Amino acid sequence: MSINLNYKSLDSRGLVDHEAKMKKSFDRLIGLIQSYEKFQRKNPNFTPERENTWKKIPEVDQIRNSMTFIDSRTKREKYWQNTVKLASIYHDEVVLQSTPNSFMLAYRTLVGIELDPSDLWQIKELGANILPLDPSVRYHPPANAHSVFRTNQTGFVYYPKGKATNVIRAGIAQGKYKDKAQLETIFYDTALNTKSLVQCRYIEYLSDILFENSNSGLIIQMVAKLDVKTGNGSEEFSTSNVMSFCEVKPFSQWPEEIKSESENIYGHQMLMPLLLEPLSHNEARKKLGIIQDLNRENTHFDIRATSLTYEQEKRWNYNNIKPNSSQRKELLNYLKNNQPKCGHHSDPHTKKCNGMTVNNFQVGHILSQSWSQSYHIFKESVHHPDNLYLTCGPCNGSLNKGGPSKSVLKYLNDEYLTLGDLLRKGKIK
């Protein structure tokens, strides 16, 4: 389901605002803590099989006391605003990130060991952006030095720095990690403190609920610090960084094999690492832009928080919806099973609609084909499924070279009836 995320709104269809989703995530976290309390009582001497582990797992009261940053409506609202502000910072820093393949190679195999310059060339060939540090930043960082790329940092960095209500700014890897995640994902073990545990679990739940019924999640910046043997300890390249923006994968989206392995290692979900998927430059920019858009209060239409896959975009391109195509047959089945109204059924700007049937339906364009011919950028998106909707032939024909009216657009938005929306809802495949 696509979701309406206008911050102040609660509409008649039961779509909830940010506070409701953040409160729901908070309540789910409380439920996890209650489950952890039972686990701890049953297994008081358990410690996870990880390299840097607790001598004793955290007491449940320690975890509860670490929830103060989100334990009220005001704090959760501040938390969300910090998340959006950080997304704006991230959007500007995407230019600094490395490709997923280069980052995963660096993170999995090069962190925590002394490297030859040739190792940097290896990941450079895969698209790594090597970020050297001035020695003054490396050894004696000034107060205004970039908080993420300081070498004296390890574990999580928070934003805003030094504030009670903050969000995870970055995760900085300096040690070797035993990574059992899938090829396209990585594990990041939490720091050995309860605040990190609570932050990670809350981010997971918020990703799950905020982007309901989708594969999207919130974004964390990850940095792999690399120690390079240069022959001169004061050279900039003696410490280098590669950075990636990674999407949080909630526990509900973990493959069953990874869930099972992790439960054996960590004992309880509360103690588990984050599962992260490094993003390409384009994916990062798109997803960060969506997070920023979710906070806009002046939009007249709902934000679609889930992007379509390349395969969906290609399959449901207008030019591929032909009379005898499988796509056409799917639309016929959708019409038979759901009996939707023509997009123009109550439109005062087109002639009276006599109804849409399996015999007279057409796929119309929101941004018209005629108008799109005037601008090259529109030619690339005019046939995208998010620009297509179902209408009857007579109404579609009455538009001539123009597009649908505001009343039609409002109806399509309110009912989520573009072909892209139908794909997101699983009405068509």
Checking if the pLDDT of 233 tops 90, the result is no
Distance CA 182, CA 179 (A): 9
Distance CA 18, CA 24 (A): 10
Distance CA 111, CA 244 (A): 14
Average pLDDT over residues 258-272: 90
Q: Give pLDDT, residue 169.
A: 92
Q: Give pLDDT, residue 333.
A: 92
Average pLDDT over residues 40-51: 85
Checking if the pLDDT of 118 tops 80, the result is yes
Q: Give pLDDT, residue 61.
A: 93
Q: How confident is the model at residue 160 (pLDDT cuts 50, 70, 90)?
A: very high
Q: How confident is the model at residue 268 (pLDDT cuts 50, 70, 90)?
A: very high
247 three-class SS? strand
Give just the sign of the alpha carbon dihedral 163, 167, 168, 170.
negative
* DSSP track, 187-225: EEPPPSSHHHHHHHHHHHHHHHHHTTTSS---EEEEEEE
Checking if the pLDDT of 295 tops 80, the result is no
Average pLDDT over residues 88-105: 95
- Here the tokens at position 42 are 């049953």
Q: How confident is the model at residue 60 (pLDDT cuts 50, 70, 90)?
A: very high
Q: How far is residue 316 from each of residues 71, 125, 307, 378, 422, measured CA to CA in Å?
A: 44, 35, 14, 17, 11
Q: Which residues contact 245 (CB under 8 A, 6 or more apart)?
A: 90, 94, 97, 219, 220, 221, 222, 278, 279, 284, 288
Q: Give pLDDT, residue 81.
A: 92
Under a CB-based contact definition with an 8 Å cutoff, are residues 51 and 178 in contact?
yes
Distance CA 91, CA 11 (A): 30
Q: Give pLDDT, residue 11.
A: 36
* pLDDT tens, position by position, 275-286: 999 999 988 998
Average pLDDT over residues 367-390: 84
What is the longest distance spanned by two Cα atoms in the chain?
81
Q: Give pLDDT, residue 348.
A: 83
Q: Give pLDDT, residue 112.
A: 86
- What percentage of the chain has pLDDT greater than the value 70? 90
Q: How confident is the model at residue 45 (pLDDT cuts 50, 70, 90)?
A: confident
Rounded to 5 degrees, φ, ψ at 365 are: -110, 135
* pLDDT tens, position by position, 190-228: 877 888 999 999 999 999 988 876 677 899 999 999 988
Q: How confident is the model at residue 102 (pLDDT cuts 50, 70, 90)?
A: very high
Q: Give pLDDT, residue 224.
A: 93
Average pLDDT over residues 355-379: 85
Give just the sign of the alpha carbon dihedral 1, 367, 7, 169.
positive
- What percentage of the chain has pLDDT greater than the value 90? 43
Q: Please give the mean pLDDT across all residues of the chain.
A: 85
Q: Give pLDDT, residue 6.
A: 34
Residue that the structure tokens 């545990």 belong to: 197
Q: Give pLDDT, residue 20.
A: 87
Rounded to 5 degrees, φ, ψ at 31 are: -60, -40
11-20, 26-35, 150-159, 209-218: which is most confident:
26-35
* DSSP track, 322-358: -TTSHHHHHHHHHHHHH-PPPTTTT-TTSPPP----T
Rounded to 5 degrees, φ, ψ at 194 are: -70, -30
Q: How confident is the model at residue 173 (pLDDT cuts 50, 70, 90)?
A: confident
Q: How confident is the model at residue 303 (pLDDT cuts 50, 70, 90)?
A: low
Distance CA 399, CA 367 (A): 11
Lowest mean pLDDT segment, chosen from 133-137, 302-306, 343-347, 399-403: 302-306
